[in-house]
Amino acid sequence: MRTHVHSFRMTGLLFLAALVALPAFAAGKRFQDDDASREKDEPTTWLKDYDKLVEGKEADWVFFDGYSAGSFKSVAVKEFSASEKDKEARHAAEYGKEYAEQWIQESKKLGWEVVKDGKADLTIEGNVAHAWEPSGAARFWGGWYANPGAVQELIGKDASGKIVFQIRHKSRGSTVKDAIENGLEDVVKSLEKGK
């Protein structure tokens, strides 16, 4: 009888431990636990809380806090910034605002009006953490750096200034400009889904 009671208690404790661990498991893989967080040439200094980023559906890493796409009617996109030491990132940042606005305007699911001047329900700030054009050797050997690419980071703030989302996404394309466009298309898809 004692064995059954002990076994029942152990089963109960294991079940309780599983319930406690479930929210962490359901949240998915965290950015800080991934190799992407340790890339030396892809700084992690611009977003406010890298430790809150989890694996996203369309964009690589996301964090949403009180975000609902339907609660916003207008959006203002600021000019993108870039890492001072990364010449390609500075060049890529020149296209960030333009492509973010383009994909937001094309999104029927978001239905947001892009506001050039004045107040908006949502303000998006962007940063290019890293961008690259592959060298001849990289193109020859293949791998992730065989194509031009960029790492984009975005912060969304509601009208009160509260951060409602943070996103980090690495994308590739035929050129750095194309990589930024492709990346921001994925980011907008994440904004549509809120994950």
Contact criterion met (CB below 8 Å) for 190 and 171: no
Of the candidate CATH numbers 1.10.3470, 2.120.10, 3.40.50, 2.60.40, the domain formed by 28-193 belongs to 3.40.50
Q: Domain boundaries in the chain? A: 28-193
Contact criterion met (CB below 8 Å) for 128 and 119: no
Looking at residues 80-108, what average pLDDT do you find?
94
Residue whose token pair is 């060049």: 91
The larger pLDDT score, comparing residue 83 to residue 31, is at 31
Q: How is residue 136 written in tokens?
A: 């001849």
Residue whose token pair is 């993108």: 80
**Distance in angstroms (rounded) separating the CA atoms of residues 128 and 61:** 14
> Does residue 85 have a pLDDT over 90?
no
**Distance in angstroms (rounded) separating the CA atoms of residues 63 and 70:** 17
Instruction: List, in sequence order, every residue forming a beta bridge with 54; answer none if it has no partner.
Output: 30, 62
Dump the DSSP string for 97-117. HHHHHHHHHH-TTT-PEEPSS
* Cα 8 to chain centroid, rounded: 44
Looking at residues 15-22, what average pLDDT do you find?
44
**Distance in angstroms (rounded) separating the CA atoms of residues 165 and 190:** 10
114's CB contacts (< 8 A; 6+ apart) are 74, 75, 76, 77, 101, 104, 105
Q: How does residue 3 score in pLDDT terms, banded at 50, 70 and 90?
A: low
Q: Which of 36, 53, 61, 33 shows the shortest CA–CA distance to 144?
A: 36
Q: How is residue 59 written in tokens?
A: 């964009």
Instruction: List, in sequence order, every residue forming a beta bridge with 70; answer none if it has no partner.
Output: none
> Does residue 73 have a pLDDT over 70?
yes
> Does residue 104 have a pLDDT over 90?
yes
Q: Residue 86 in 3-state DSSP?
A: coil
Please state the pTM of the whole predicted model.
0.81
